[in-house]
Amino acid sequence: MFKTIGTHIKVKDFAKSRTFYEGLGFPVIFEYGPDKAVKEDYNGVVFAVGAAKLEVADGHRAVKPGIFQERVTSSKISLMIEVESIGEIMERARAMGLSPAVGVRHYYWGKLEVVYRDPDGVILVFTEPYTPESAKTLGASEEFGKAPAT
């Protein structure tokens, strides 16, 4: 029934957001805007995330303009992005002057996770499979490394 999923992030500052996602290594697969081959009154870019798509734009015909000025302040929704190397994400982020919102943690279900917020406050949780070596190299917190007692 389902084939893939995508996320559309409505951004306040398109250039800043595009730089953020490209800087973390998200590959561009499509773009549109006033000065692009695909003409639109606003700017947008689509990134590939495996089979999924992540679209960032500073406008949309069906969305009220004020939405693009709002900052995400809640952690109610987050993007979960499995990567080959959290270390690589952290190196790219550090090169852009970014610090994690939540440092690397080991979770007992077999994942390492690190959290960043994009320029509009969207939460991105980067994950990789847990290995003791990676956890040690990344300085992962073990606070959630053991299952709670039942």
| DSSP-H helix ranges across the chain | 14-23, 86-95, 132-138
pLDDT of residue 102: 97
Of the three residues 20, 47, 70, the one that is the final residue of a domain is 70
Domain residues for the domain of 37 are 1-70
Residues 6+ apart with CB under 8 A from 11: 17, 56, 57, 58, 68, 119, 120
Residue 65: pLDDT over 90 = no
- Please check whether residues 96 and 34 belong to one and the same domain: no
- Please check whether residues 75 and 65 belong to one and the same domain: no
Q: Span 87-112, mean pLDDT?
A: 97
- Please check whether residues 56 and 94 belong to one and the same domain: no
- Please check whether residues 109 and 41 belong to one and the same domain: no
Residue 121: pLDDT over 90 = yes
pLDDT of residue 15: 97
Note if the pTM is more than 0.85. yes
- Please check whether residues 106 and 63 belong to one and the same domain: no
Q: Span 110-139, mean pLDDT?
A: 97
- Please check whether residues 84 and 57 belong to one and the same domain: no
- Please check whether residues 61 and 100 belong to one and the same domain: no
Q: Span 116-137, mean pLDDT?
A: 97
Q: Which domain CATH number covers 50?
A: 3.30.720
pLDDT of residue 150: 80
Using CB atoms within 10 Å of the CB of residue 40, give its burial: 0 to 12 exposed, 13 to 18 middle, 19+ buried. middle
Q: Which domain CATH number covers 118?
A: 3.10.180.10
Strands 78-82 and 102-107: unpaired
- Please check whether residues 65 and 93 belong to one and the same domain: no
- Please check whether residues 75 and 144 belong to one and the same domain: yes
Tens digit of pLDDT for each residue in 19-39?
Answer: 999 999 999 999 999 999 999
pLDDT of residue 93: 98
pLDDT of residue 91: 98
Tally of structural domains, the chain:
2
